[in-house]
Amino acid sequence: MTSTVNRESTAFASALDVIAQVEPRVAAAIGQELTDQRESLKLIASENYASPAVLLAMGNWFSDKYAEGTPGRRFYAACQNVDTVERLAAEHARELFGAQHAYVQPHSGIDANLVAFWSILAARVETPALAAAGVPNVDALSDADWARVRRALGDQRMLGMSLDAGGHLTHGFRPNISGKMFEQSSYGTDPATGLVDYAAVRERAREVRPLVLVAGYSAYPRRIDFAAMREIADEVGATLMVDMAHFAGLVAGRVLTGDFDPVPHADVVTTTTHKSLRGPRGGMVLCTDEFAPFVDRGCPMVLGGPLPHVMAAKAVALAEARRPEFADYAQQVVANARALADGLLRRGARLVTGGTDNHLVLVDVSAYGLTGRQAEAALLDAGLVTNRNSVPADPNGPWYTSGIRLGTPALTTRGLREAELAEVGDLLVDVLAHTRPDGDSQVRYRVDAGVAERVRARAAELVGAHPLYPEIDLTGRG
């Protein structure tokens, strides 16, 4: 009987051989990416490693299908198999998260947020306007009435976490389309602790009276009390939307429960399917039954044709997340993040909020006289892959930044545990403490070559002890 190792190695090697017959440079780049990822000590909080089954589910004949609409209501014929995988993905999502409804078509987290925003606008603004006018749909409105509805849609307010406090660009910031859709206001964190001050959020919500109150983050290392956010939303008549793209795996793995699980408290929840959920690159919307009819019109409202091959991969990843071992994985992600934070603190690093309750750690590198951009580059020289990130009230802005964001999902997938993550904290501080700005530049830097070489060698040993995709052997291919 063919072993799992042989089966998966054969599948990927054969795929690369077929690609190489048409464009060998693409095949070479794909193979090199596997090599590079195997050699990287990856601490990017938004990245992970999908299983071979998830990866293989994306490369198939579903890519050839148009499937606008929803299962059973397509605008194209012969979508019965697409219906099957989309229904499976939605079923797994509902069961995994305890959601009333799941929409698995969004191509990314931004797409998922756009579907959510427009669904809330449609449910809360457009539909009441249609009812008041006594017409069934927007096409039946007079030009004058439609102009009034359009003005009403454009006059709505959003309140979300500020970017430097850990929020995301898609939560109403001007460079993103969300900032052009809504009149955006922000809430921050307590300057002394870096933590969300729910009394301050309540006060801000009373001032703004938003249509949408957004909770969720991309760089906040603590839990959010979604029950408290629900109370605030109800008080001001807002729709509570939660973006759990970063921590969806911790919700799925039952690390975040009760008041810290957004699904029982929010009207609409959005997420990516990669990051801590460990699936393909894509998005998803969970919602109550009230918003389901509007969310299901994501295509053609803001989405192009669904990607059936990615929905197939989402179904596989969500099925994996329903297994008991995924809960063990999620627990280990948080244990590893705490160990990483402890290792950094022991060496005197300055952490935003002083630690972590989730999968990420935010280091203020200004204590080393560095910008985030300098720190990110110096760490990469030493084999540590991170990304720069703003810290609260960041004097360097969102491009150069004063922080680096670290995450443990990817290294946890590889099998590293607490002792190794604590050591990674030591390695990070070794590099940062031996890096200096080059003159007055916010970009150029000088890092002690001996330190960089030593840390790079140890990083290689750590990842070498935990092979990435050990079931895949491409040696001798071609």
Give the residue numbers annotated as catalytic, written as ranges: 66, 68, 243, 272, 275, 281
DSSP 304-352: -S--HHHHHHHHHHHHHHTSHHHHHHHHHHHHHHHHHHHHHHHTT--BG
Task: Locate 240 and state its tokens.
Answer: 């509570």
**Pairwise CA distance, residues 267 & 210, whole Å:** 15
Q: How many helices (H) and strands (E) does the chain have?
A: 20, 16
Helix, strand, coil percentages for the chain (3-state, nearest 5): 50, 15, 35
Pairing, β 283-287 against β 268-272: antiparallel
* Closest C-alpha to 374, from 453, 454, 448, 435: 435
CA-CA distance, 107 to 283, in Å (whole number)?
Answer: 5
The secondary structure of residue 273, as a DSSP letter, is S
Distance of CA 363 to the CA centre of its chain: 19
Judge contact between 406 and 46, C-beta under 8 A.
no
In angstroms, rounded to a whole number, what is the distance separating the alpha carbons of residues 168 and 306? 25
Measured distance CA(305)–CA(102) in Å, rounded: 18
Q: Which residues pair with 183 in a beta bridge?
A: 157
Give me the amino acid identity at 430.
Answer: D
Helix, coil or strand: residue 249: helix
Burial class (CB in 10 A: 0-12, 13-18, 19+), 36: exposed
- Under DSSP, is residue 63 helix (H, G, I), strand (E, B) or coil? helix
274 CB-contact burial (10 Å; exposed 0-12 / middle 13-18 / buried 19+): buried
Residue 294 three-state SS: helix
